């Protein structure tokens, strides 16, 4: 159980390997002649934002004794039947160890499902890591966990330092390189957001940071085919949304690019007051061109590298734009009331992506019969797979009595 700190036992870079972050890629080491040491020094560029690991720097493993605590949490509402079912599955995994994949539809309320598992782990003295590949998810999880738990939580992403004793850490996966054999419960949120196929070193990082008998829980709405296959035996499917309504099923509509640029989308852009429309494009130039074609509808455009992205997303959240043209899923946690979703060129997306986009609709507690439309130039297998998956989840949820 421990944390890597600067020390003298373990050489940072040795035999072409960084012992801090496990990097072995030659081109990620940098050599230079050090005048003080009067010799060549090699340092690792892969973890340079976290530490300075080199042939001349050393680390120790700081032993952290187990800490037991009550770790009670405050929840102002009762979990749904499905959430309770998932929560029990996680607690079981915490106690028995091993891996589990929670395949929960968008809007299932997965954050609440993990609270009991975290509490039980902490009572047993197991350290908890709640990780995501994405910094924005880490920040959001930290805010929410701080509301639920009255316990010391460390948050780690670029530039953040440890405040407490690492018993409960919310972090990007990369930052877990600081730990060895330390966490008895690791929960990976949005595992699908990993670079695919999941980077070997991130996986090694997770495994090294976890104890030998740790519980590893993966959460995702859209597991890749590889992940589904690999974890088939340990998958828990959670097909229902917390508000007990089915997922909106997308419909198809033929629209060629030529039609699109000649105004073919116009009949679909007429809006009811106080409703919002998210239109996804698969590239910026089409989006910009379409924004010009449909300028009478006053769409706002936003894309991943947009310098004004944050301001625009704020304005969108505040309801200042009825029609939003975008190339990105915005924040994954992006939810808005009274939202409809169109996907332009739907045939160019993966099924996972289509499910995520469709999953933006009807997320709030107050019902909204939203529309999801896949505009296409020929229906693809991935589109069919997405619709099939959504239908299947609805049928499963109904069968289990988890939706009305
Ligand atoms: Zn390194």
pLDDT in the model for residue 201: 79
Q: How far is the CA of 99 from the centre of ligand 1 (A)?
A: 27
pLDDT at 79 (0 to 100): 96
Q: How far is the CA of 209 from the centre of ligand 1 (A)?
A: 15
Distance 47 CA to ligand 1 centre (A): 4
Q: How far is the CA of 18 from the centre of ligand 1 (A)?
A: 5
What is the C-alpha to C-alpha distance for residues 166 and 155, in angstroms, rounded to an integer?
A: 9
Q: Given this model, what pLDDT does residue 362 score?
A: 96
Sorting pLDDT into bands at 50, 70 and 90, what band is 329? low
Instruction: Please state the rounded mean pLDDT for residues 299-313.
Output: 90
Task: Tell how far the Cα of 29 is from the centroid of ligand 1, in angstroms.
Answer: 8
How far does residue 20's CA lie from ligand 1's centre (Å)?
5
Residue 181 pLDDT exceeds 90 = yes
The residues, any chain, with a CB within 8 Å of residue 383's CB and separated by 6 or more, are 250, 252, 346, 347, 349, 351, 354, 374, 376
pLDDT at 331 over 60: no
Q: At what angle do helices 81-96 and 115-123 cross, to 10 degrees?
A: 30
Average pLDDT, the chain: 93
CA 216 to centroid of ligand 1, rounded, Å: 24
Q: pLDDT by residue (tens digit) across 119-135?
A: 999 999 999 999 998 88
CA of 325 from ligand 1 middle (Å) equals: 40
**pTM summary value:** 0.90
pLDDT at 333 over 70: no
- What burial letters (b/e) apply to 59-97, b meaning 16+ CB within 10 Å? bebeeeeeeeeebebeeeeebbebbebbbebbbebbeeb
Task: Name the band, by pLDDT with cuts 50, 70 and 90, for residue 137.
Answer: confident
Rg from Cα positions in the chain: 24
pLDDT digits (tens, 9 = 90+) for 206-220: 999 999 999 999 999
Q: Which of 201-210, 327-336, 352-361 has the lowest mean pLDDT?
A: 327-336
Ligand 1 centre distance from Cα of residue 164 (Å): 24
Range of lowest pLDDT (261-265, 305-309, 357-361): 305-309
Distance 151 CA to ligand 1 centre (A): 31
Alpha carbon of 131 to ligand 1 centroid (Å):
20
Res. 196: pLDDT tops 50? no
Q: Which domains does the chain have, with CATH numbers?
A: 2-63 (no CATH), 81-238 (3.40.50.300), 251-389 (3.40.50.300)
> In the predicted model, is pLDDT for residue 393 greater than 80?
yes
């Amino acid at each position: 159980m421990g944390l890597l700190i600067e020390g003298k036992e373990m050489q940072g870079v040795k035999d072409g390997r960084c012992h801090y972050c496990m990097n072995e890629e030659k081109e990620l080491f940098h050599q230079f002649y050090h005048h003080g040491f009067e010799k060549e020094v090699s340092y690792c560029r892969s973890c340079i934002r976290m530490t300075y690991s080199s042939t001349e720097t050393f680390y120790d493993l700081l032993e952290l004794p187990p800490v037991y605590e009550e770790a009670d949490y405050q929840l102002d509402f009762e979990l749904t039947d499905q959430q309770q079912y998932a929560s029990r599955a996680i607690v079981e995994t915490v106690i028995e160890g091993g891996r589990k994949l929670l395949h929960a539809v968008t809007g299932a309320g997965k954050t609440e499902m993990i609270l009991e598992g975290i509490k039980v782990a902490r009572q047993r003295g197991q350290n908890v890591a709640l990780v995501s590949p994405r910094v924005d998810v880490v920040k959001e999880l930290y805010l929410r966990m701080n509301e639920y738990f009255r316990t010391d939580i460390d948050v780690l992403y670029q530039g953040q330092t440890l405040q407490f004793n690492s018993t409960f850490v919310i972090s990007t996966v990369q930052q877990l390189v600081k730990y060895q054999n330390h966490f008895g419960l690791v929960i990976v949120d949005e595992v699908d957001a990993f670079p695919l196929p999941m980077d070997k070193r991130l996986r090694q990082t997770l495994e090294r940071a976890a104890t030998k008998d740790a519980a590893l829980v993966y959460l995702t709405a859209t597991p890749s085919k590889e992940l589904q296959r690999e974890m088939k035996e340990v998958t828990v499917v959670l097909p229902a949304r917390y508000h007990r309504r089915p997922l909106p099923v997308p419909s198809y509509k033929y629209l060629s690019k030529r039609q699109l640029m000649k105004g073919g989308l116009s009949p679909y852009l007429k809006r009811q007051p106080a409703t919002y429309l998210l239109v996804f494009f698969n590239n910026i130039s089409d989006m910009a061109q379409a924004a010009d074609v449909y300028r009478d509808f006053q769409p706002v455009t936003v894309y991943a590298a947009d310098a004004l992205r944050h301001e625009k997303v704020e304005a969108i959240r505040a309801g200042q734009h009825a029609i939003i043209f975008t190339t990105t899923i915005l924040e994954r946690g992006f939810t808005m009331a009274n939202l409809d979703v169109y996907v332009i060129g739907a045939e160019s997306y993966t099924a996972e992506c289509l499910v995520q986009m469709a999953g933006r609709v009807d997320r709030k507690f107050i019902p909204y019969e939203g529309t999801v439309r896949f505009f296409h130039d020929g229906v693809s297998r991935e589109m069919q797979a997405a619709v099939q998956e959504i239908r299947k989840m609805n049928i499963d949820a109904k069968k289990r009595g988890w939706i009305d």
